[in-house]
Structure 1
Amino acid sequence: MNKNPLSANFKMGFLGAGQLARMSGLQAFRYGIQVGVFSDRNENEPVQFMTPHSTTGSYDSVDDLAKFAKLCDVLTLENEFIDSAVLRKAQEQSGTNIFPAPDSFAKIENKLIEKRTFENAGIPVTPYKLVKTVTDLKEFGQNYGWPYVLKSSKGGYDGYGNETIQNLEEAKKAFNDLGGHDNHDIVAEAFVDFTHELAVQVARNETGHVVYPCCETVQENHICVAVKSPAPVATSIQQKAQELAVKATEAIDGKGIFAYEFFLTKEGNLLLNESAPRPHNSGHYTIEGCVTSQFENHVRAVMGLPLGSSELRAPAVAMINLLGTDERDTQVDNALEALTASDGHLHVYGKLDSRPGRKMAHYTLLGNDMESTYKKAQSLTDGIRI
């Protein structure tokens, strides 16, 4: 890196312009640097209100990405809806480093490659198979039982791109709906009988790594609706999840911030379900809940700076995702009670349009006891409409 990363002329570029880039961008601004953003959408996105350095183009275009990269001193990812080969060519053409590096990203860029990478590294993963035919769909159900989950290998999020199927007829329909007949890779995953869904974030660069507390994610309809940190599971389980998360990051030689989601089975085993080469919804609680948030360590990691402490600031931290309740221009109603709570923190993402189920904001509450803190956070946010 030629330019001092703490120079006022240093520019960090984000590939993606949603709330994750917005929250990382806010931390970048704390260091007095500039922020650039690349979006593939015509409408204004959350980061684009924050910086004049905004570019619109296609994630499939090496020329578009390279042109943007030349305007920046370093690039990083907000999403994984991009191809590693395109990233690699854009990096070569522009001379601007991208983190996570294209070679690291290539090892987890879709769900099939991801499973194989971690499996080869000796990390337990959810049983899976690439399915191409009706026979494959039938045999997976016979071998692993019904129901099971079908996932689009690339591009799924927040309930999109995956379906839980109960029988062969549902499997055939889901396979078609997910693009299986359009040459999209579809992965079948066994339905894991779990007690908790857990998550761990890891920040890593040439200065070392930090691992965040193991938290629990509460899911409804494939969408994370809340997070509890630390997770209400045995300390030994928390530590094992952290160890596996670090091992997974090392397996891809990752530089940046990474998130890992695990299933804790009824037998007490951990299975790595999915990873993300970026900040993650499960780590939003770290903004107020930890000494250094996932977003600040994202910026530090990419800039090659020493990483900050991931230690919790309170014995219990609860985060509630605030989903859209109405289809309308975005406005937050009935939030006054939540704003008056001691150590309660509201974050609104700046999306212009709300719709039911869309992630629009989150609320974090710090306390001394997880059960009471979580219940209070639920109560404070129950009446909020967006």
Structure 2
Amino acid sequence: MKFKDKTRQKIGIIGGGQLGKMMILDAKKMGFYVIILDPTKKCPAHSIADQHLVADFDDREAIRKLAEKSDLITYEFEHIDVEVLKELESEGNKIYPTARSLEIIQNKYHQKNVLKQDQIAVPEFKKVSSPDDIKETAQEFGYPLMLKSCTGGYDGKGNALIGSEAEVERAFQELGAEKSKLMIEKYIPFKKEISIIAARGLNGEMNVYPIGENEHQNNILFETKVPADISNKLKKEAEEFAKEVLEVFEGIGIFCVEMFVTEDNQLLVNEIAPRPHNSGHYSIEGCVTSQFEQHIRAITALPLGDTTLVRPAVMRNILGSGKEGKAEVVGLDSALAVEGVKVHIYQKTISRPGRKMGHLTVTADSLDQASELALEASRLIEIKGEKN
């Protein structure tokens, strides 16, 4: 099949949020037809999708309908009924990343087990099912401890830091008690958190992006700086980790590998995301090929693109502020007047405090310059709930 024929393929995306929207923007540049499945009628991707199936993410019949209409399926988040995806794969449907990848990654305990079995360094962890289990694990790991829900968590949700034995019962109840599958991770007093975006094509070709250094606020990614301020030795180790992860999960498409840099300069893999990631948004302006274009290339068997960093880049999330309500963008003109600033508004209709409503990216000749400009621009723009 010639490459020009591939653009006749119809791509189905489960999810019509900002990641789906940014996938579509690049897919359309290459001539693909895109169908989304999302329960929100005016989701961010709605206005640019060729078709929109309005259905819940757990609607098995709707997912089957998406498969019937599509040549291949991808997804923008992990919380999907993996069983229906496995059934569709067994019937010959193409799903990338594969249902196997998703099934393992959906459960943090299974994810860590697979990584550990393949000798990829991770924080120490144990499954727990009661406050007594947590206290027993604390005798081995010490306090503080990180209690995590094995499934369903994101942006800090599903995590509870336990500072002492007195906090065990509260954290256990907070995360669902006996109703939830829980695990404990040894707390890592890390120097930095970094992430690396990596791509693998259908033919096994792999390519990695420059490493980002991440800052979180209230468990939500606030800023990513690229390149990360780490040694060349750690950069090489991180790149090798990312490639090993792609091999372990037989990954097709974009994967994000989040890692801790410990106080003694060791790398520990924290979590894997089988999709384009918030910390890779810088690649839209910062790299020759964005993570979204790369994902589309990878899942459609096109050659992977160049991941070279064009200039140092800083990405900052624009989080909802004020009260919950109809989204109102304030200060866009002022932010765009700052040198080198690019603003992405996700067009979510409702803003609420802490919700990811957009992001801005600055590229400059130096990382310090990009950081200063990003700070200036982020002070000028706001997306808040409009007063009723």
TM-superposed deviation, 1:105: 2.2
Tell me which moved more, 334-343 or 368-377: 334-343
Answering whether residue 203 of structure 2 is matched by residue 196 of structure 1, we say: no
Instruction: Indicate if the aligned counterparts of 2:196 and 2:211 stay in contact, CA closer than 8 A.
Output: yes
Instruction: Indicate if the aligned counterparts of 1:323 and 1:356 stay in contact, CA closer than 8 A.
Output: yes
Partners of 2:25 and 2:177 lie apart in 1 by 39
Answering whether residue 145 of structure 2 is matched by residue 148 of structure 1, we say: yes
TM-superposed deviation, 1:61: 4.2
Partners of 1:171 and 1:212 lie apart in 2 by 40
Aligned to 1:247: 244
* 2:138 match: secondary structure: helix
Answering whether residue 332 of structure 2 is matched by residue 331 of structure 1, we say: no
Answering whether residue 311 of structure 2 is matched by residue 310 of structure 1, we say: no
Deviations 1:18-67 (A, max 9, x none): 1111111111111111111112x345311122224111334444333112
Amino acid aligned to 2:290? S
Partners of 1:179 and 1:4 lie apart in 2 by 50
Identity %: 37
Answering whether residue 81 of structure 2 is matched by residue 80 of structure 1, we say: no
What CA RMSD, in Å, does the superposition of the two structures yield over aligned residues? 1.7
Aligned to 1:25: 24
Partners of 1:171 and 1:48 lie apart in 2 by 44
Partners of 1:180 and 1:27 lie apart in 2 by 43
Select the residue among 186, 200, 206 that pairs with 2:202.
Answer: 206
Partners of 1:218 and 1:385 lie apart in 2 by 19
Partners of 2:154 and 2:105 lie apart in 1 by 15
- What is the TM-score of this pair, normalised by structure 2? 0.94
Name the CA shift for 1:56/1:134 in 2 (closer, same or farther; >3 Å). same
Structure 1: stretches of 5+ with no match in the other structure: none
* 1:213 match: secondary structure: coil
Name the CA shift for 1:383/1:339 in 2 (closer, same or farther; >3 Å). closer
TM-superposed deviation, 1:190: 1.4
* 1:100 match: secondary structure: coil
Deviations 1:76-109 (A, max 9, x none): 011110243221113334x421001112222322
Aligned to 1:268: 265
Instruction: Indicate if the aligned counterparts of 1:228 and 1:318 stay in contact, CA closer than 8 A.
Output: yes
Partners of 2:361 and 2:40 lie apart in 1 by 31
Amino acid aligned to 2:73? L
Instruction: Indicate if the aligned counterparts of 1:150 and 1:171 stay in contact, CA closer than 8 A.
Output: no
Aligned to 1:186: 182
Answering whether residue 34 of structure 2 is matched by residue 35 of structure 1, we say: yes
Deviations 1:295-332 (A, max 9, x none): 00011011111000110001x11111110112231122
Tell me which moved more, 20-29 or 59-68: 59-68
Partners of 1:160 and 1:308 lie apart in 2 by 34
Partners of 2:71 and 2:125 lie apart in 1 by 39
Aligned to 2:155: 158
1:33-72 map, 5 Å: 33-39=32-38, 41-72=39-70
Aligned to 1:378: 375
